[in-house]
């Protein structure tokens, strides 16, 4: 009889919760649908296949599902490309692979948005009691879905000049959102002393390594957060009873739960790391490639001081609205500094201190150990924000009704702004910059045409060709056309093999012997006397200077250099070679086959080209490793250039 009454009571509670949350959840679903349809409308405009890292994840999804279709689960980690983990395929394509590039862009953009919103909503759902509190929880979750880190579509440095190196198709937003949701389950498990919930969270944390290797660091972050929540529970119990000291019984109860769960966490994460290390995914070759690539990128990006760089990327990752909210939370702490260890404030104190430590360690790893690319910080920004949102909610709900209503409007505002921009055919660049987003879509059609032209050149010559690229990163779109047609759609035909001045294994630099031995050369178009409008300056102007001017008369190369000006960096070295190529004609062994923002040349006479390059290089005073990289080439062809 008592059992039946208890069951009826539980059903009644669940039914009442469903009624109470019906309207707030309808609001949340409506916001997610509006964002989703907006993202879909932008992704439908895409004309270029995914490029660089995004293409590798796209292709990994295909090969992963090929392994599944054959029942060969063990081969998933070895599937090409082996350096990309397979979990993204299961998250973005849970029921099978789709070759549509628009579908890939939509999935890789909207899924992280949805997961991030859930990461903020889930913990707040258990503490929101009143109707206004539930609306506030939904508003905070919608603000989480509006963070700028999720809205960087196609690169647009000319109009927006974004400081964030992210674009759609990359998995860094997915890693951040998935990890934040996993940590949210861990936090819920600790707060509610639920072994099942926390174990589910640790399984997700352990699996995050199969999104990106940075999941190993996220496991340490989650472990620290779980013990911080346990400490909060201990201190709240102590402070609630004035004068009580830390007893052995309380410490024992804390350890009886957290020590076994820590062992579970270590076991799960250790197992996934072991599996990854025994596969090609985290094999020796891929680890060495990552280390050499990180070293190269650090050399490029660590010139400016840390603090200005960090402060410069925050508006385009978290957004001004979250920065203001976090500053407000810190200001509240300073106002309550005398009561930080009260039972109501101790949680905020411990969480804020822990988040400071997490961010400090993450920034140190990002700047000094990994490579300071802004997207690498996404997980270590989103997780603390999701964790601190609990305290923001607690602070706001203890204020007056008017303050709570104002907070609801404040947190809904960024979601409304993003929705309006997503639904606009051409969002104003000024408003995009204000919100820190980049909603550019449907560009790079010219680069797609270039990719088809390069493939047509291979077909005309009836053989595979070698392409040497000096296109400052923009060659990725043209190369992705071939990867999409040959790799994703499996269309037959001849292809070109790409060589670049940087291969992430050797020291970056132009090697003239590789250039001359190629069949095709790709470089940016230099606009004489209008360098401020050229592709070179507009794309990477923050890393380059207009350090020299060159003038060409027929086939003789005369240089008008500023006083003491010479190539000092890798980028200036590439600029010099690109400018040289732009001044060459058929008489120098090059024939122009495509002219746009990027130029493609066919090498028609290697001897003439080698002589012209040797003659040109001998007239430049190099402060880079160019002479060392090209010593044998210059010695061999110096006589021919006379």
Residue 289 vs residues 179, 230, 474, 603: alpha-carbon distances, Å: 25, 39, 22, 31
Decide if 66 is inside a domain: no
Residues 418 and 486 in one domain: no
Confidence (pLDDT) at 540? 35
DSSP, res 564: T
DSSP state at residue 53: H
CB–CB of 187/225 below 8 Å?
Answer: yes
- Give the chain's domain count: 2
Question: Distance between CA atoms of 630 and 501, rounded to whole angstroms?
Answer: 12
pLDDT tens figures, 315-366: 999 999 999 999 988 888 777 666 555 556 788 888 999 999 999 999 999 9
Say if 462 falls within a structural domain: yes
| Tens-digit pLDDT profile for residues 170-223 | 999 999 999 999 999 999 999 888 999 999 999 999 999 999 999 999 999 999
Residue appearing with tokens 């990006």: 301
Q: Are residues 373 and 514 both part of a single domain?
A: no
Angle of helix 172-192 versus helix 101-125 axis, rounded to 10? 20
Phi, psi of 550 (to 5 degrees): -125, 145
Residue 342 is predicted with a pLDDT of 57
Same domain, 332 and 426: yes
Q: 190 and 296, same structural domain?
A: yes
Does residue 221 sit in the same domain as residue 279? yes
Specify the 3-state DSSP secondary structure of 560: strand
3-class SS of residue 462: coil
Is residue 226 within 8 A of residue 187, CB to CB? The reply is yes
d(CA 350, CA 228): 7
As a whole number, mean pLDDT of residues 248-256 equals 73
Task: Give pLDDT, residue 67.
Answer: 92
Confidence of residue 304 (pLDDT cuts 50, 70, 90): confident
Q: What percent of the chain has pLDDT over 70?
A: 86
Confidence of residue 529 (pLDDT cuts 50, 70, 90): very low
Q: How far is CA 179 from CA 184, 187, 191, 258, in A?
A: 8, 12, 18, 20
- Looking at the structure, tell me whether residues 343 and 254 fall in a common domain: yes
Q: What is the percentage of the chain residues whose pLDDT exceeds 90?
A: 58
| Whether pLDDT at 547 is above 60 | no
Q: Using CA atoms, how far apart are residues 102 and 62, in angstroms rounded to an integer?
A: 15
pLDDT at 531 (0 to 100): 38
Instruction: Indicate if 458 and 589 belong to the same structural domain.
Output: yes
How many CA atoms are closer than 13 Å to the CA of 36, on its beta-carbon side? 13
93: how many CB neighbours lie within 10 A of its CB? Answer: 18
The segment with the largest mean pLDDT, out of 289-303, 335-349, 515-529, 570-584, is 570-584
Asked if the bond preceding 81 is cis, omega within 30° of 0, the reply is yes
Q: What is the pLDDT of residue 286?
A: 79
Q: What's the rounded mean pLDDT across residues 581-608?
A: 93
Residue 65 lies in a domain: no
Q: What was the pLDDT predicted at 110?
A: 98
Is residue 461 domain-shared with residue 411, that is, in the same domain?
no
Contact call for residues 203 and 268 (beta carbons, < 8 A): yes
Q: For position 639, what pLDDT does the model report? A: 62
Cα torsion angle, 594, 595, 599, 605, sign: positive
Q: Which residue among 402, 435, 468 closes a domain?
A: 435
The predicted structure's pLDDT at residue 72? 84
- Single out the residue in 408, 435, 462 at which a domain terminates: 435
Q: Give burial (CB, 10 Å; 0-12/13-18/19+) of 102.
A: middle
Cα–Cα distance, 431 to 151 (Å, whole number): 13
Average of per-residue pLDDT across 268-278? 93
Q: Which of 389, 408, 435 is the last residue of a domain?
A: 435
Closest CA to 600 of 382, 497, 451, 422: 451
Burial 496-508 (b: 16+ CB within 10 A, else e): bebebbbeeeeeb
Which of 157, 150, 117 shows the shortest CA–CA distance to 28?
A: 117
Structure tokens at 292: 């050499």
Give first-to-last CA distance, the chain, whole Å.
106
Q: What is the mean pLDDT of residues 98-121?
A: 97
Position with higher pLDDT, 162 vs 598: 598
Residue 425 lies in a domain: yes
> In this structure, are 414 and 478 located in the same domain?
no
Instruction: Report whether 632 contacts 617 (CB < 8 A).
Output: no
Q: Are residues 421 and 473 in the same domain?
A: no
Residue 380 pLDDT > 80: yes
What rounded mean pLDDT belongs to the chain? 85
What the block records as the tokens of 373 is 């690319």
CB 523 within 8 A of CB 578: yes
As a whole number of angstroms, the longest Cα–Cα distance in the chain is 106
36-51 burial, b for 16+ CB within 10 Å, e for fewer? Answer: bebbbebbeebbbbbb
Decide if 49 is inside a domain: no
Residue 397 lies in a domain: yes
Greater pLDDT, 466 or 83:
466
Per the domain annotation, does 79 fall within a domain? Answer: no
Q: How far is CA 526 from CA 141, 530, 536, 542, 598, in A?
A: 47, 8, 7, 17, 9
296: pLDDT confidence band, cut at 50, 70 and 90? confident
Q: Which pLDDT band, with edges at 50, 70 and 90, does 562 fall under?
A: very low
Is 310:380 a contact under the CB 8 Å cutoff?
Answer: no
Please report the DSSP string for 220-282 in residue order. Answer: HHHHHHHHHHHHHHHHHHHHTSTT----HHHHHHHHHHHHHHHHHHHHHHHHHHHHHHTSSTT
List the beta bridge partners of residue 600: 522, 594
Q: What is the DSSP letter of 600?
A: E
* Inter-residue long-range contacts of 612-618, CB under 8 Å, 24+ positions, other chains counted: 612/555, 612/584, 612/588, 612/641, 613/512, 613/515, 613/516, 613/580, 613/637, 614/512, 614/638, 614/640, 614/641, 615/557, 615/641, 616/557, 616/580, 617/512
- Are 430 and 451 in the same domain? no
pLDDT > 60? residue 544: no
Q: Are 391 and 348 in contact (CB under 8 A)?
A: yes
Identify the domain containing residue 411 by its residue range. Answer: 2-42+107-435
Phi, psi of 508 (to 5 degrees): -65, 145
Q: Are residues 218 and 273 in the same domain?
A: yes
State the Cα–Cα distance between residues 363 and 207, nearest whole angstrom.
Answer: 23
In a domain, 47, yes or no: no
């Amino acid at each position: 009889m008592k059992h039946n009454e208890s069951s009826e009571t539980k059903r009644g509670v669940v039914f009442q919760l469903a009624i109470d949350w019906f309207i707030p959840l309808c609001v949340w679903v409506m916001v997610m649908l509006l964002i989703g349809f907006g993202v879909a409308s932008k992704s439908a405009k895409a004309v270029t296949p995914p490029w660089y890292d995004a293409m590798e994840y796209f292709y990994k999804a295909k090969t992963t599902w090929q392994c599944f279709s054959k029942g060969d689960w063990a081969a998933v980690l070895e599937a090409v490309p082996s350096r990309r983990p397979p979990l993204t395929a299961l998250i973005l394509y849970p029921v099978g692979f789709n070759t549509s590039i628009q579908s890939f862009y939509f999935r890789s953009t909207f899924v992280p948005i949805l997961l991030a919103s859930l990461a903020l909503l889930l913990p707040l759902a258990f503490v929101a009691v009143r109707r206004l509190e539930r609306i506030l929880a939904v508003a905070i979750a919608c603000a989480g879905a509006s963070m700028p880190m999720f809205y960087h579509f196609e690169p647009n440095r000319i109009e927006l000049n974004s400081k964030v190196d992210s674009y759609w198709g990359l998995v860094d937003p997915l890693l951040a959102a998935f990890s934040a949701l996993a940590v949210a389950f861990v936090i819920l498990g600790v707060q509610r002393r639920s072994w099942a919930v926390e174990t589910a969270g640790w399984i997700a944390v352990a699996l995050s390594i199969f999104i990106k290797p940075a999941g190993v660091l996220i496991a340490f972050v989650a472990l620290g957060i779980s013990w911080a929540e346990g400490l909060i529970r201990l201190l709240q119990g102590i402070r609630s009873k004035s004068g009580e000291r830390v007893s052995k019984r309380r410490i024992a109860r804390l350890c009886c739960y957290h020590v076994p769960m820590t062992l579970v966490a270590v076991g799960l994460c250790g197992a996934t790391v072991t599996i990854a290390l025994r596969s090609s995914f985290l094999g020796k070759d891929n680890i060495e490639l990552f280390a050499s690539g990180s070293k190269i990128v650090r050399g490029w990006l660590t010139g400016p001081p840390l603090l200005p760089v960090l402060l410069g990327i925050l508006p385009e990752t978290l957004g001004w609205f979250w920065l203001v909210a976090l500053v407000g939370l810190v200001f509240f702490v300073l106002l309550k500094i005398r009561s930080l260890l009260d039972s109501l404030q101790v949680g905020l104190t411990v969480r804020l201190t822990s988040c400071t430590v997490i961010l400090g360690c993450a920034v140190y790893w990002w700047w000094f150990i990994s490579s300071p690319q802004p997207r690498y910080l996404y997980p270590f920004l989103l997780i603390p924000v999701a964790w601190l949102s609990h305290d923001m909610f607690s602070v706001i709900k203890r204020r007056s009704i008017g303050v709570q209503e104002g907070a609801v409007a404040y947190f809904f505002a960024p979601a409304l702004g993003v929705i309006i921009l997503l639904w606009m055919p051409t969002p104003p660049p000024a408003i995009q910059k204000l919100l820190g987003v980049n909603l550019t879509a449907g560009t790079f059609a010219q680069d797609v045409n270039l990719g088809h032209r390069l493939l047509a050149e291979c077909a005309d010559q009836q053989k595979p060709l070698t392409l040497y690229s000096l296109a400052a990163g923009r060659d990725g779109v043209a190369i992705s056309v071939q990867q999409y047609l040959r790799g994703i759609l499996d269309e037959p035909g001849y292809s070109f093999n790409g060589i670049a001045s940087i291969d992430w294994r050797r020291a970056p630099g132009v090697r003239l012997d590789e250039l001359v031995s190629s069949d095709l050369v790709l470089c940016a178009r230099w606009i004489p006397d209008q360098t401020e409008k050229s592709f070179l300056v507009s794309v990477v102007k923050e890393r380059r200077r207009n350090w020299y001017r060159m003038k060409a008369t027929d086939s003789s190369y005369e240089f008008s250099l500023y006083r003491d000006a010479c190539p000092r960096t890798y980028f200036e070295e590439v600029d010099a070679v690109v400018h040289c190529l732009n001044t060459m004609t058929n008489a120098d062994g090059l024939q122009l086959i495509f002219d746009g923002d990027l130029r493609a040349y066919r090498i028609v006479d290697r001897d003439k080209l080698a002589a012209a390059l040797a003659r040109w290089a001998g007239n430049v005073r190099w402060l880079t490793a160019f002479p060392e990289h090209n010593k044998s080439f210059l010695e061999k062809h110096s006589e021919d250039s006379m």
